[in-house]
Structure 1
């Protein structure tokens, strides 16, 4: 037997969607508390503290991250609007191939090389800047969590930020004018018209986790799990019972009915039958529901029908 921790989107994403009665009953009886909204500091113990995504994914992609600082400069598509430019696509959504990066990167290399930040792309969807010794490392948002956001709200401010904003503006001009992007647009493909700077840092001294298996998640979580020497894999189509302490990243699922049918209900069935020791549902807004088999006897607690409002915390145990 084992335990399962499910990482989930913020509860507000589900709007007025309602839980099925068995799940509502179990969650109404669960222990609840508030934790840090970002679950990753709880998933991984990283020293020195931080979340140096670029270095860890670089080590997995190219094996040469040691000894340098790194920043991701991922290709993205942003759509200009009256207030700025919004991030609409990144990563696999762009459908980039090695031929795309071979066409686009040579035009960017002089710009970033002259600035002291050599750029390359060992993987078509993951582009990297090598940072010189002593470079300031800005903390910038993961593009997967910033879809729809204004690009310029996620650039560093002040004198250091001015340099990055200038580099980004010049890169956007290069990409906008590049004939390969024009060919992509003519073929009905999404052009690469900007970059997303994020994940700066150096290889950590150690990465550890209490989980024995981590399923799903973006490439960053998979890379950190690999650095911690933990079994990883893609997310299955629905709940499957496993051994040990497992983490399942379900943050990309937005349909509560799908979560309930394919994940919550079969997981709770295993919990009720004693085939699962415990489960934790951790939502992106910081609310956590901890479930144990003994909670089935809390018959006095009301079912949780919706995630829109928190239930009272002062009901009797």
Structure 2
């Protein structure tokens, strides 16, 4: 059997800036894996790398909305944008954006807020669809000519110079203003503010582009809760399952029992710890990763139960085979976790 596992963990390494080596929990197996693996710099972000692994041309605009909509609804759509609920806060550093990590929006709140926004969309002949409290979609009859910034690239940052550009930018910015005024008066937001919660005071449009013509992929199955990864797997027609809790749960899946399977595991939970510089959340994540994944991965590789492990934690690509485990002269180092690799 001997599966090969590619583990993509966007935003995992290096650690948030406030964390030093002294702050790290014990993670000897993760450090051994990284120290003894072959390493090369990873210039593309995790999602760009993922698209490339599914045969998308390098110059393809990543159609995040179309792919995540395919994952959510099981159907292909053109002219779809993400329209995710956010909170914008004006301060000395600019207009900062906060996503559902901070909002913790409930399903009934999301649907009520969306209903207040829908009458504003007639100019675009568009429908607003709520697939999940944190994932809304703008389904348009015609393309909207804008270029946008992915949500993960603007979380916790000033959005003033990251608003949509392109031929339809003026119409979109006018719509943004109308949405913000409407949401300001929404009863749901007023109730949230009385409870001390952040209101949803804007939507963030992003993810334009139609589904790409995919090439071949080496993966036989995908395991992730990330809508982009799930959408790519559906589009490529390979099995897709939710993120397993640990290596044992992964290897118990039917897809892992086929001949020489190549398994993709994508865990996106670390992204928001980085976006918000959440040191406590990141430290808890690495502690669980060591127990649930790094230790059993290292032991399975040493016993010959895996053919190879590829780990992409954000800053580099680490490739480890069984023979690499014997590289005892490569000493583990906490600095590899707390400083960007070259």
TM-score normalised by the shorter chain: which range applies?
0.7 to 0.9
Inter-CA distance 23–180: structure 2 relative to 1 (3 Å threshold): closer
Question: Take 1:296 and 1:63, find their aligned partners in 2: how far apart are those partners?
Answer: 41
Higher mean displacement: 261-270 or 301-310: 301-310
User: Does the CA-based 8 Å contact 1:57-1:220 persist in structure 2?
Assistant: yes
Q: How does 1:277-292 map to 2 (within 5 A)?
A: 277-285=307-315, 287-292=316-321
Are residues 1:249 and 2:266 paired? yes
C-alpha deviations, 1:262-288, integer Å up to 9, x for none? 211110000000001100111212x11
Matched residue of 2:62: which SS?
A: coil
User: Does the CA-based 8 Å contact 1:72-1:196 persist in structure 2?
Assistant: yes
How far the C-alpha of 1:60 sits from its partner, in A, is: 4.5
C-alpha deviations, 1:176-226, integer Å up to 9, x for none? 111232123334554321101111122334475322222224222222222
Inter-CA distance 311–220: structure 2 relative to 1 (3 Å threshold): closer
C-alpha deviations, 1:3-34, integer Å up to 9, x for none? 11111224222532456444433422211101
Flag structure 1 segments of 5+ consecutive residues without an equivalent: 313-317
Are residues 1:305 and 2:312 paired? no
Residue aligning to 2:121: 112
Matched residue of 2:244: which SS?
A: coil
Inter-CA distance 297–105: structure 2 relative to 1 (3 Å threshold): closer
Higher mean displacement: 265-274 or 220-229: 220-229
- How many residue pairs match? The answer is 307
Matched residue of 1:262: which SS?
A: helix
Q: Which has the higher strand share?
A: 1
Matched residue of 1:271: which SS?
A: helix
Matched residue of 1:152: which SS?
A: coil
Flag structure 2 segments of 5+ consecutive residues without an equivalent: 271-281
Q: How does 1:74-113 map to 2 (within 5 A)?
A: 74-90=84-100, 94-97=104-107, 99-113=108-122
| TM-score after normalising by structure 2 | 0.78
User: Does the CA-based 8 Å contact 1:87-1:147 persist in structure 2?
Assistant: yes
Matched residue of 1:28: which SS?
A: helix
User: Does the CA-based 8 Å contact 2:301-2:307 persist in structure 1?
Assistant: yes
Q: How does 1:119-268 map to 2 (within 5 A)?
A: 119-125=127-133, 126-133=135-142, 135-141=144-150, 143-157=151-165, 160-187=168-195, 189-206=197-214, 209-240=217-248, 242=251, 243=256, 244-253=261-270, 254-255=282-283, 256-268=286-298
Q: How does 1:31-42 map to 2 (within 5 A)?
A: 31-35=38-42, 36-38=44-46, 39-42=49-52
Are residues 1:11 and 2:13 paired? yes
| TM-score after normalising by structure 1 | 0.83
User: Does the CA-based 8 Å contact 2:148-2:205 persist in structure 1?
Assistant: no
User: Does the CA-based 8 Å contact 2:13-2:340 persist in structure 1?
Assistant: no
C-alpha deviations, 1:49-68, integer Å up to 9, x for none? 332122233344456644x3
Are residues 1:271 and 2:276 paired? no
Are residues 1:25 and 2:32 paired? yes
Question: Take 2:179 and 2:228, find their aligned partners in 1: how far apart are those partners?
Answer: 24
Inter-CA distance 166–84: structure 2 relative to 1 (3 Å threshold): farther
